[in-house]
């Protein structure tokens, strides 16, 4: 009888040792521009199978490192503290569930005062506590210092001529940033129609030409712009 109980206890310990909860948050520091759409991915492994996991996001300001500010939870409504409740209610901040054990926090317009340490916490779904239940990552929000200058000019060209246009793009930040620069053509007849992409240099220095002119614009004839 006693031996049976001992074996059972050992088997239980052995089974638990492999299933250790691990929460993984997109590693930081994440550096994002004020006003941009920020996403932070969180996932969890090592829990008992078949249970959909919940995710709770909080943040800690750099100035008050031990005060948790709750933002949003997949388990509870009205989880946010006052500073975040309006942005959560208006869906400016939301959680996208990607699977039973991964979810993405979206901040559609990040603000300077979102800078801090973000924490993803997953409530326990097992009988006992084992492993880690949260993970943290730093978010740095930099000012949008992007400026674009191009001399205003009226050019007259004969078909077949070479056209050279100059555009200067700059930003002032100590952070390592990537810029993407594109040229677009706007129809002078219809200022309301969307500009047509001509050529774009991606932030990874890949040059890409724009798509074909939509049929309603009258085909691929020469256009001024």
Ligand X SMILES: *[C@@H]1O[C@H](CO)[C@@H](O)[C@H](O)[C@H]1NC(C)=O
- 45 is an interface residue for ligand X by CB under 6 A: yes
Residue choice 16, 19, 24, 187 for contact with ligand X (CB under 6 A): 24
**Cα–Cα distance measured from residue 125 to residue 45, given in angstroms and rounded to the nearest whole number:** 12
Tell me which stretch binds ligand X (CB under 6 A): 69-77, 87-95, 136-144, 165-173: 136-144
Contacts (Cβ under 8 Å, ≥6 apart) of 163: 155, 157
Q: Do the beta carbons of residue 30 and residue 139 sit within 8 Å?
A: yes
Tell me which stretch binds ligand X (CB under 6 A): 5-13, 21-29, 148-156, 172-180: 21-29
Tell me which stretch binds ligand X (CB under 6 A): 39-47, 49-57, 70-78, 124-132: 39-47
Smallest distance, ligand X to C-beta of residue 29, A:
6
* Binding string, residues 161-180; x marks residues near ligand X by CB under 6 A: --------------------
Ranked by CB distance to ligand X, the top (closest) residue is 24
**Cα–Cα distance measured from residue 132 to residue 136, given in angstroms and rounded to the nearest whole number:** 11
* Binding string, residues 84-123; x marks residues near ligand X by CB under 6 A: ---------------------------------x------
Site residues, ligand X (CB under 6 A): 24, 26, 28, 41, 43, 45, 117, 136-138
């Amino acid at each position: 009888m006693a031996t049976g109980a001992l074996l059972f206890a050992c088997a239980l310990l052995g089974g638990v040792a492999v299933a250790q909860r691990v929460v993984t948050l997109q590693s930081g520091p994440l550096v994002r521009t004020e006003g941009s759409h920020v996403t932070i991915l969180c996932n969890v492994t090592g829990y008992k199978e078949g249970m959909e996991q919940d995710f709770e996001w909080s943040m800690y300001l750099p100035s008050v490192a031990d005060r948790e500010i709750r933002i949003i939870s997949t388990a509870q409504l009205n989880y946010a503290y006052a500073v975040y409740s309006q942005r959560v209610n208006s869906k400016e901040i939301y959680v996208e569930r990607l699977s039973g054990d991964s979810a993405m926090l979206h901040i559609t317009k990040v603000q300077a005062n979102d800078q801090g340490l973000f924490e993803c916490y997953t409530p326990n779904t097992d009988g006992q506590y084992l492993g880690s239940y949260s993970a943290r990552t730093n978010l740095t929000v930099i000012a949008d210092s992007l400026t674009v200058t191009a001399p205003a000019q009226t050019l007259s060209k004969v078909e077949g001529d070479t056209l050279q246009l100059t555009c200067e793009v700059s930003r002032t930040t100590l952070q390592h940033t990537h810029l993407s620069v594109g040229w677009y053509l706007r129809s002078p007849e219809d200022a309301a129609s969307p500009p047509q992409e001509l050529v774009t240099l991606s932030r990874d220095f890949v040059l890409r030409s724009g798509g074909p002119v939509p049929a309603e614009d009258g085909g691929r004839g020469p256009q001024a712009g």
